[in-house]
């Protein structure tokens, strides 16, 4: 399964990446803004998107509408620090960021994208956005077997 994480905060993006990378069969790509997210969305064809609602270049709700216009079936999970945001009706789930939300996020992804419906094949590598700092996109399978 291919997951696109859209998060402008480096620390939150890293935390989400690390939480999701526990699932070795998931191919994780990240974007730090809306423009980069749309580029990766079209190029990489993720199975699901996690999205911060507050981005520097576009509102999360506008990005949801754009993604759903291109691929109406794509599940999108809002992952935000806000307890409530009024304009997220097109999202498939809404999770408040906490230090312990990783398990809730993994459960939501598994519920929204059952294993038999994955459109992408696991490549064994994660694609990082150019602005990420502090972690590498290594092949977990190679690292874990070493």
pLDDT per residue rounded down to tens, the chain (146 residues): 999 999 999 999 999 999 999 999 999 999 999 999 999 999 999 999 999 988 999 998 899 999 999 999 999 999 988 776 666 778 999 999 887 899 999 999 999 998 766 554 333 334 444 344 333 333 333 334 44
Domain of 107, CATH number, reads 3.40.50.2300
pLDDT at 123: 38
| Structural domain containing residue 13 | 2-145
Q: How would DSSP label each residue in the chain?
A: -EEEEE-SSHHHHHHHHHHHTTSTT-EEEEESSHHHHHHHHHHH--SEEEE-SB-SSSBHHHHHHHHHHH-TT--EEEEES-S--SS-TT-SEEEE--TT-HHHHHHHHHHHS-GGG--S---S--BPPTT--S-----HHHHHH-
Whole-structure pTM value: 0.78
Q: How many domains does the chain have?
A: 1
């Amino acid at each position: 399964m291919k997951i696109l994480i859209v998060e402008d905060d480096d620390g939150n993006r890293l935390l989400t990446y690390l939480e999701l990378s526990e699932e070795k069969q998931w191919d994780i790509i990240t974007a730090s803004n809306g423009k980069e997210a749309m580029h990766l969305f079209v190029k990489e064809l993720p199975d699901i998107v996690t999205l911060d609602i507050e981005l520097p270049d576009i509102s999360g709700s506008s990005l949801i509408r754009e993604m759903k216009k291109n691929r109406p079936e794509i599940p999108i999970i809002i992952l935000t620090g806000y307890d409530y945001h009024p304009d997220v009706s097109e999202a498939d789930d809404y999770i408040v960021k906490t230090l312990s939300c990783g398990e809730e996020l993994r459960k939501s992804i598994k519920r929204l994208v059952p294993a038999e419906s994955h459109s992408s094949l696991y490549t064994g590598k994660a694609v990082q956005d150019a602005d990420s700092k502090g972690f590498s996109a290594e092949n977990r399978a190679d690292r874990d077997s070493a």
